[in-house]
Structure 1
Amino acid sequence: MSEDARGRPEDEERGPGGVHHTFVVMEELLEKLKTLDYEHEVLLKHNMKALSRHYFVSNPHVASNPGEQFFLFTVIASWLITVAGRPFPAPREDDEPYATVSNILAELRAFGVKVDFPPTKLKAGSGEQVCLVLDRLAEQALRKRGFTFRRPNYPAEAAEDESVMEDHAELALGKVEEDMVSRTNHSEVDLSSKPEGVLESRVDPAEWGLEVERVLPQLKVTIHTDSKDWRIHLDQMHQHRDGITASLKETKVLLDRLQEDLGKSLEKVNSREKYINTQLEHLTQEYRAAQAKLSQARELYQQASGGVTEKTRQLAEVSEELEEVKQGMEEKGSSMSDGAPMVKIKQSLTKLRQEVVQMDVRIGMVEHTLLQAKLREKNNMTRDMHASTLPEPALQPYV
């Protein structure tokens, strides 16, 4: 199947089962990844759990985690591109999403796969486009490793030996015949060995009659017919054959009549079809011309879609850069117009003035205490000086 035929189908060409197409692609992708041994080469390396059958399917009934799914999608895609023969660096969580997706689509185009959807379709990490991209990359990786899918070879079944089942009915009949023969032989032996005289019975006739009535049900020989008896099957086969033969005669007449009616109707349909074809020849030519124009328009649309996709990618990159510049300008403007630093400075000055006043009060108290200490010390020194000065003796005149 070519890449175009297996690409993304249009909505009007999908049919009733188009809604479940993504589930089928995801299951095939998982089988291809297992063939490539992605458990050891990807999951163990990044410490991730195994994928479920519908991991990358975007559906309300399937649990989703966009961040985890997008990262795992980029990791698997980069690994598949590397396995396919084109070295591709493993993505990191802090990489630009649009740049990573654009690089993956560029590698996919390099393999000759047509891409008719914008990169934004892969940003969610799940959906039809994600499954298709991974499926195409897995096919390229399998082709690089020389793996091809082949038809399974079924072993030839040995013919079973027909086992001959034991016919219980024949055994039962054989036993009955043997019993009858043995009884006959036994009676002949008894007759040959009977005495010449007349035997007289000493048994009461009434008791004999009662004993006969008691054992009479046990003396009856009942032959049970088995449903597996070949004689019964043979009789049934003869009956079915006779019934089929009788029904075939009546059915054959009806079938012949129906065949004639169908032949006449078919001839009428053919004649009407030829008439309609001759009458609508010009409309058929116009329709064919319209189909050719439609195919040309679709080709032009696909070519234009490729240019639009590239421009959309560039627009997304420019928009992302513009958003970053706007965010930086908003942060600088908010920091310049914000009066919070002035309020903090004023509060700090007020607090500093209060601390200066408190410090002045403490200095005054210390100076006052120091002055009192000096005065006290001066008084003590004065008192000591007066105490140490002795009084001089009075001069008395000589007599």
Structure 2
Amino acid sequence: MGDEEFDEADIVDGGPGLAYMPFVVMEDLLDKLKLLDYEEEFVKELRMRPLSRHYFVLQTNPGEQFYMFTSLAAWLIQKCGTPFDQPQEFDDPNSTISNILDVVRRNGVTIDFPPSKLKQGYGEQAIFILDRLSDEALRNTHFQWGKPIPPSEVADEEEDLKDEAELDLDRVEEEMAGEYSDEEDDDEILHINDMGSALPMATSQRPNEILESNTDFDEWSLEVERVAPQLKVTVRSDNRDWRTHLEQMHTYRRGIDDALTTTRVHLDKLHNDIGRTLEKITSREKYLNSQLEGSLQQFRQLSDTLAATKEQYKQVSGGVTERSRTLAQIADDLEVIKAEMEERGSAMTDGTPLVNVRRALIRMKQEVANMNVRIGVLEHSLLQAKLRDRSNLQRDALNFAFANEV
């Protein structure tokens, strides 16, 4: 939302034409790339597609546009004389953008927008970076603009076209002279130059009285009818002339009208045949419906019966399914009970526990006997120790008494 407000404010400050400025810069960038021969060195060598006039202005495919932007920027940096690795499709976009911006900053260009704007691969920021890199590449290749050569004026060609479209009296006279020289005598040719040379003489002598014609009207009309077919003027037809196009339009219109007249008869006949066929089909349908009304009614009843039967079958099958599920559960419980009964029966008929009990009793008896032996040995040892202590006490008492007596 903030970017949109910022763009609108820029448009208001810079005028309505500022919104179309990226289109102009993109066209200039494309011209600079052509001057750098990018079609041979970039498009063919790296197998890229040629750029369109508005490739980086409008969004088409962000992933493809970003890869094209980074590849083109790397190529321009290499053209500037700075070593730079060609980016790959799976490289980190943040590191690639930071490397490109570092090179641009080293060239003295101030970056006043966040690097995230370049992740889109299109827009005013991407065009700005490529334009600055192309300028630096042109300076590094020592490119110089030549003097402008104005285009040649096309006025001569237009005059030639006008001369061809106009009627040239001298050319007509020559063509008429060449055409009539083989067919008629020289006396029947109309010489316009002779008439022109005779005209000043006639105009120089001014009559003093009103001239009146003594030629008979009928004879003049006959002479005009006799000479008129021989006065042929040939004018070259120009395909770009609007009269030619108009004549072609009239010709095509007449051809369409003639074809339509012939085709309309066939179409009317076809329409009548289709109408009669449809009427026959409708009458046959009505006849079949009237004949099969009873069968159709019976079919409807059977269909209703079949639907009711299917519904009843669904209900019954639902009960059968529920009972089958209950039966399966009961069978599982029965299997568990049978397994428990088999375990208990095998435990009742098996003598292994009794044998184990007997073995345990024998082992306990042996252990008790061993304990009794040990107890007897201990009692005997204790008795000997008591007797030893008593004899020692008696000896000590005797020795003490003897000592006292002495």
Q: Shared fold (TM-score greater than 0.5)?
A: no
Larger Rg: 2
Q: TM-score range by the shorter chain?
A: 0.3 to 0.5
If asked which structure has higher relative contact order (CA below 8 Å, sep 6+), I would say 1
TM-score normalized by structure 1?
0.39
